[in-house]
Amino acid sequence: MSGVYDFTAQTMRGEELSLAQYRDQVLLIVNTASRCIYTNQYSGLQSLHDRYHPRGLEVLAFPCDQFGHQEPGDSAQIETFCTTNFAVKFPVFEKIEVNGPHAAPLFDYLKRAAPGLFGSRRIKWNFTKFLLSRDGARVQRFAPRTAPETLRPQIERLLAS
């Protein structure tokens, strides 16, 4: 696969969705969890969505249970949690793995496109963020502790280009 738009993802309803539908959008792709120290970042992600979605930002959340069993719920529980606690309106996809032999191909691609510290390809924790340009060619990686609000300057630059 050559780019992010070549991948598909499972919606919470179990439907296969082509990421090609997000072509020409700035994408913020995040692995998430409901019981993580960073779970409150859902608020910041929703704030970014509210502010920049009309200009072309798509926030895409991918729940993952690989870090401390912090996303134990099924799709219905995850969806209810996100909408009830954080009024999430951006897409939250089916729970996936981001590391190891069963890692979602999308995340294998993102890890190759934007390695972590010292060239590491592993995702170290929940709420690792990948910011992609409209053409999907430029990918930036941000650590879990990076608050979504601090990404505003990078998002604005990408939206303007």
Q: With CA atoms as reference, report the closest residue to 61 among 33, 37, 84, 38.
A: 33
94 Cβ contact list (under 8 Å, min separation 6): 9, 10, 11, 12, 14, 63, 75
Q: With CA atoms as reference, report the closest residue to 20 among 31, 7, 9, 33.
A: 7
Q: CA 122 from chain center: how many Å?
A: 15
pLDDT at position 1: 47
pLDDT at position 101: 96
Extents of the domains making up the chain? 4-160
Q: Is the dihedral of CA 132, 26, 101, 65 positive or negative?
A: positive
Q: CA 141 from chain center: how many Å?
A: 11
| Active-site option among 36, 60, 88, 131 | 36
pLDDT at 116 > cutoff 90: no
pLDDT at position 117: 74
Task: Express each pLDDT in 123-140 by its tens digit.
Answer: 999 999 999 999 988 999
pLDDT at 119 > cutoff 80: no
pLDDT at 30 > cutoff 50: yes
**Cα–Cα distance between 98 and 81 in angstroms, integer?**
21
Q: What angle do CA 68, 110, 34 make, to 5 degrees?
A: 30
36 catalytic residue (yes or no): yes
Task: Express each pLDDT in 3-13 by its tens digit.
Answer: 899 999 999 98
55 token code pair = 């200009």
63: left (phi > 0), else alpha (psi -120 to 50), else beta? beta
Task: Express each pLDDT in 82-105 by its tens digit.
Answer: 999 999 999 999 999 999 999 999
Task: Name the CATH superfamily for 4-160.
Answer: Glutaredoxin (3.40.30.10)
Q: Are strands 16-18 and 57-63 parallel, antiparallel or unpaired?
A: unpaired
Q: What is the number of residues in the chain?
A: 161
**Cα–Cα distance between 92 and 33 in angstroms, integer?**
11
pTM of the model: 0.95
pLDDT at position 72: 92
pLDDT at position 2: 64
Mean pLDDT, the chain, whole residue set: 94
Task: Express each pLDDT in 38-65 by its tens digit.
Answer: 999 999 999 999 999 999 999 999 999 9
pLDDT at position 137: 85
